[in-house]
Amino acid sequence: MLAVPIWLWGVFAATVVVSLAIDLLAHRSAHVIGFKEAAAWSGLWVGLALTFGVVVFLVLGGTAGTEYTTAWLLEKSLSVDNLFVFALIFAYFKVPRAYQHRVLFFGVIGALVFRGIFLAAGVAVVSRFTAVLFVFAAILFYSVYKILKGEEESFDPGKSFAVRLLRKIVPVRDTYAGTKFFVKEAGKHVATPLLAVVAAIEAADLIFAVDSVPAVLAVSDDAFIVYTSNAFAILGLRALYFMLSGLLDRFHYLSKGLAIILGFIGVKLVLQACHKLISESVPEIPSPVSLAVIVLVLTVSVVLSIRRPAGEP
The answer to whether 262 and 148 have CB atoms below 8 angstroms apart is no
178: left (phi > 0), else alpha (psi -120 to 50), else beta?
Answer: left
Q: How many beta carbons lie within 10 A of that of residue 278, not counting itself?
A: 9
Is residue 1 a part of any domain in this protein? Answer: no
Is residue 29 a part of any domain in this protein? Answer: yes
Tell me: the pLDDT tens digits for 165-208?
Answer: 888 888 888 888 888 888 888 778 888 889 988 888 888 888 77
What whole-number distance in Å separates Cα of residue 19 and Cα of residue 21?
Answer: 5
150: left (phi > 0), else alpha (psi -120 to 50), else beta?
Answer: left
Phi then psi for residue 250, to 5 deg, are -75, -25
Tell me the pLDDT band of 15, cut-offs 50, 70 and 90: very high
SS3 string, 35-94, reads HHHHHHHHHHHHHHHHHHHHHHHHHHCHHHHHHHHHHHHHHHHHCHHHHHHHHHHHHHCC
If you ran DSSP here, which 8-state letter would residue 152 be given? P
What pTM, to 2 d.p., does this model score?
0.82
What whole-number distance in Å separates Cα of residue 309 and Cα of residue 313?
Answer: 9
Tell me the pLDDT band of 1, cut-offs 50, 70 and 90: low
The answer to whether 209 and 85 have CB atoms below 8 angstroms apart is no
User: What residues contact 189, with CB distance under 8 A and at least 6 apart?
Assistant: 170, 182, 183
Is residue 312 a part of any domain in this protein? Answer: no
Beta pairing partners, 184: 189
- The distance of Cα 260 from the centroid of its chain, to the nearest Å, equals 18
Query: In the Cβ-directed half-sphere of 111, how many Cα atoms lie within 13 Å?
Result: 32
Nearest to 177 by CA among 188, 166, 193, 200: 193
Domain extent, residue 148, equals 6-307
Beta pairing partners, 185: 188
25 or 70: which leads in pLDDT: 70
Q: Is pLDDT above 60 for 154?
A: no
Q: Is pLDDT above 60 for 151?
A: no
- The distance of Cα 9 from the centroid of its chain, to the nearest Å, equals 21
Is residue 159 a part of any domain in this protein? Answer: yes
User: What residues contact 260, with CB distance under 8 A and at least 6 apart?
Assistant: 297
Q: How many beta carbons lie within 10 A of that of residue 302, not counting itself?
A: 15
Is residue 214 a part of any domain in this protein? Answer: yes
Measure Cα distances from 174 to 11, 183, 192, 196 in Å. Answer: 43, 12, 7, 11
Helical ranges in 79-158 per DSSP H: 80-92, 100-128, 132-148
Total count of domains within the chain: 1
Beta pairing partners, 182: 191
Helices 254-277 and 287-307: angle between axes, nearest 10 degrees: 160
Tell me: the pLDDT tens digits for 53-74?
Answer: 999 999 999 999 999 999 999 8
Q: What percent of the chain has pLDDT over 90?
A: 19
Tell me: the pLDDT tens digits for 75-99?
Answer: 888 877 777 778 878 888 888 888 8
